[in-house]
Chains A and B, each alone.
Chain A
Amino acid sequence: MTVYLLCFLLFLVGFYGVLTKRDLVKIILSLTIMGYAVNLFLILFAYRDQALFPILKEGVNMEAMVDPLPQALVLTSIVIELGTTALLVTIALKLFQKYKTFDITKIRRLSG
């Protein structure tokens, strides 16, 4: 319960950054933080007490294992996040090249 709430607090910190920061770099960093919080929450939700990782070993009989399904989902999500971060960085650099600033209010003003 406390862990869930702290994880949600981490998400809200990222959300605060997206809403209030005017700097494109800070916005990209906030999106990364939100991604971390969501990934962590999925895994927290699947954790089982006294359970081991879901990989079989030869000659060892595993009693309880954690849920492998959220781990698979998060594994794809992490790599997608890396691709989208790279795309965002490219777009931000393109904007910087055109407007010579990372401040989003100035970018809006220049485009009219």
Chain B
Amino acid sequence: MPTETWLIFILIFMILGSITALELKDILSSIISIGIVGLGVSVAFLFMQAPDLAIVQFLFEIFAMIILLRAFLKKDYHQESTSRLNWLLSGVTIIVLIAIFLFSISVFNALPPFGQPLLTTAEHYIAHGAAETGAANLVASVILDYRAYDTLGEITVLFTAILGSLTILRIQSQRKKEGSESS
């Protein structure tokens, strides 16, 4: 089978999984469905010749599932009451989103067809990347040599996110630290 057929199959699977995750009442089932969607992304990356991304996405999925389960599983989970207004609201939203989808078909028609990308900047990376940087993995050469600024920005974002979550919990951490020092 060609790659496109496999991708269509995986994407339909992922859409069904995400609808299931959003509509289920039980939080454990929702998080597991999200895990299925993420593993589908990982398999799709493998089909599209991106093993680096497949590894990172797989590990990301495991990590995110552990974080979400640890954080949300033991909370007593209040189910939202479905009122008539809520049904109306979601109906209107679905109609608007379907309209957006129909309008977007012409936009996607204007893109180059699947399997034949433009490849303007990347021609240089593919042709001269190994000679200029000395790395056999061209993705690593793009990340850490040609576009190391991006990686610096990524590190900054990660650093800020971690500092933000540490700041939110600062009071509790201090209380914990005092408790452990006195004991």
Query: Touch between A and B in complex, CB under 8 Å?
Result: yes
Taking Cβ atoms with an 8 Å cutoff, the residues of A that contact B are 1-10, 12-17, 19-23, 25-26, 28-30, 32-33, 36, 39-40, 43-49, 51-58, 65-69, 71-76, 78-87, 89-94, 96, 101-103
A-B contact sample (4 more), CB < 8 A, given A33-B22, A68-B138: A8-B104, A10-B15, A16-B22, A39-B57
Residue pairs across A and B with Cβ atoms less than 8 A apart, 24 shown, are: A1-B109, A3-B4, A20-B90, A22-B80, A25-B68, A29-B22, A29-B30, A29-B68, A36-B37, A36-B38, A47-B3, A47-B114, A53-B50, A54-B126, A55-B136, A55-B139, A56-B130, A58-B136, A68-B129, A71-B50, A73-B150, A79-B60, A96-B75, A101-B78
A20 to B91, CA, bound (A): 10
Q: Is the Cβ of A4 less than 8 Å from the Cβ of B111?
A: yes
Report A44 CB to chain B, min CB distance, Å: 7
Count of chain B residues near A, Cβ 8 A: 85
* Chain A residues whose CB sits within 8 angstroms of the CB of B4 once the complex forms: 2-3
Which label, helix, strand, loop or mixed, suits the secondary structure of the B interface? helix
Complex formed: what's the CA distance from A2 to B80 in Å? Answer: 36
A22 to B52, CA, bound (A): 36
Q: Chain A binding site: helix, strand, loop or mixed by DSSP?
A: helix
List the interface of chain B (C-beta within 8 A of A): 3-4, 7-8, 11-12, 14-15, 18-19, 21-22, 27, 30-31, 34, 37-38, 41, 44-45, 48-53, 56-57, 60, 63-64, 67-68, 71-72, 75, 77-78, 80, 86, 89-90, 93-94, 97, 100-101, 104-105, 108-109, 111, 113-117, 119, 121-122, 125-126, 129-130, 136-139, 141-143, 147, 150-151, 153-154, 157-158, 161-162, 164-165, 168-169
